[in-house]
Chain A
Amino acid sequence: MRVWIDQAYCTGSGLCEVIEPRVFAIGDDGLARVRRGDEILPPGPDGAVDVPPGCEDEVRDASESCPGGCIRVEPRPDVSRDPA
């Protein structure tokens, strides 16, 4: 699962960061971004991150609850399955 923020629709409520601070952060501009560890990524599809294991449901909750509807959740591309 990958996630990114469509900041044009972000309301800055901070709900996503409250639900899953390991993935979401509110930037200095008061709007949401996604994070990879300590790194805060730029908004938009270019700043998409793979959702860390164990955070998928929280990310889904945040996306469903987001007042701006700006959290874009996508299936992870090119997922290769190890036949072993």
Chain B
Amino acid sequence: MLTAEENEVLCRVGPGTPMGKVLRRYWTPAFQLGDLPAPDCPPVRVTVLGENFVAFRDTNGRLGFLDELCCHRGASLTLGRVEECGIRCLYHGWKYAVDGTIMETPNLATSTFRERVKHGAYPVRAAGGLGWVYLGPPGTEPPFPGFSWASAEPDELAVSEMIMDCNYMQVLEGSIDSSHVAILHLDTLATMGAGPRSVGSFDFAGEPWDLDMPVPGRGGGGAGGGGAGGQRPGVWPSDDNAPRIEVENTPFGFHYAAIRGVVGEPDKKFVRVTAFAMPYTAFIGGAPGAVIVVPRDDHTCSSIGVFKVPKGAGLGRRATGVDPAVWGPEPPNRRITLPPQDREAMAAGQSFAGFRGGNRIQDAAVQMSSGPMYDRAKEHLVPADLAIIRLRRLLADSVRLLDDGQAPVGLGDGYDFSQVMAASQVIDAAEPWQDLVPGHQGTPEPRRVSAP
């Protein structure tokens, strides 16, 4: 549990807040490249870390990320015209280049002002279908995290952004919480024909319920070859709902392993290794990509999935498995509206959670249910929450380091970020899980920054 004060430090991200200052020292994925598809296309308004910006693509295809409000009299540049290598404010026609240079001031004839004043502009990088920005002090940019999918072609990636009405930590902690997977997402595993079929005294009735659910490995002919309700133990070969968690720090953050027993094979263990790259990104074992949690403001965040898909597969109805009334990839439809919970299916044992649409809808339901900013003074952590404790430690250490004039943890200086990967595998009980993630470079003893 955290004190109210510690919780505030962890959760508040606006300018000048301790965590806001820390998060601004990392590259932040702020918008989808697909929202700026062509030169001089309409700009987009972006809220990130409690501030508003305008993103645009100029005539030459360059990306700009500027303070939203015109530095003359504060009109929003999101209303502006994108033309001739800049964005022009509608109010008095001031025009800005992608680097914040003031190109034109039609209501001010002299040039001295334009030469001496610059509009707030921030470095932008395009990678993995996302526009990444650096909002920290000029000259402090860390190495860019070039993850394995950073150079993938746009049609090889499915980027899905779910805007959620809750503080980012509720979602971020969910991304490194293996023990909920076979419980909250029991329906998914059951539909795949895998995993445990009970949660405490709840027993799954056997028939797949949410047939539109996006699950890996399920073809068109039924539940992943295992048949309706049939077991396909290779996918999730464990009925252990209390995994042992082991965490080791790495140059980019940490790896944690969720270790479970294997049904019928006492000499084996089922290991899911999650790679957490500070401060937003979780590569989850068994998934072909990562989930990135970006704070929009203190009470809103985006859960962004970046997954490699067969070329051209995109994010069709089939791929999302989510009712468009609940969520869709189009900008106006990204904010999650939870569907009604199907109590009938729950009572009949056909569904544990009662939320159609797959894991991320179920995650959103429980994570938003804690309210806009959960008070962690009321929580009761258990050993299965060890990775969450480590995340909080790294963030708290980073706050302390920055206060001390040092860099935060996990910037990965000299590390090849393309090596960051997760794993999900059955291995011999004696085999180290670290062998599953070759770029591990971990340390069993975490780097510590002692409290005063």
Interface residues of A (CB under 8 A from B): 11, 13-15, 18-19, 56-57, 60-61, 64-69
Contact = CB atoms under 8 A, between A and B. Distances in A.
Interface string B1-39: 110001000000000000000000000000000000000
Given A56-B450, A57-B450, A61-B389, A67 B382 contact: yes
A13 B448 contact: no
Contacts of A65: 1, 381, 385, 389
B311 interface: no
**What does DSSP make chain A's interface, helix, strand, loop or mixed?**
helix
Interface of B: 1-2, 6, 245, 379-383, 385-386, 389, 393, 448, 450-451
Contact of B381 (A57, A60, A67): A67
B379 A14 contact: no
Contacts, number: 40
Nearest to B451: A60
B347 to A, nearest CB: 31
Task: Please report whether the interface of chain B is mostly helix, strand, loop or mixed according to DSSP.
Answer: loop
Given A15-B382, A18-B383, A57-B448, A66 B1 contact: yes
A61 B393 contact: yes
Contact of A13 (B2, B381, B393): B381
Contact of A64 (B1, B245, B382, B450): B1
Nearest to A67: B380
B392 to A, nearest CB: 8
Given A56-B450, A57-B448, A64 B2 contact: yes
Nearest to A54: B445
B386 A13 contact: no
A41 to B, nearest CB: 22
Nearest to A16: B383
A38 B450 CA distance: 27
A49 to B, nearest CB: 19
A69 B1 contact: yes
A26 B2 CA distance: 23
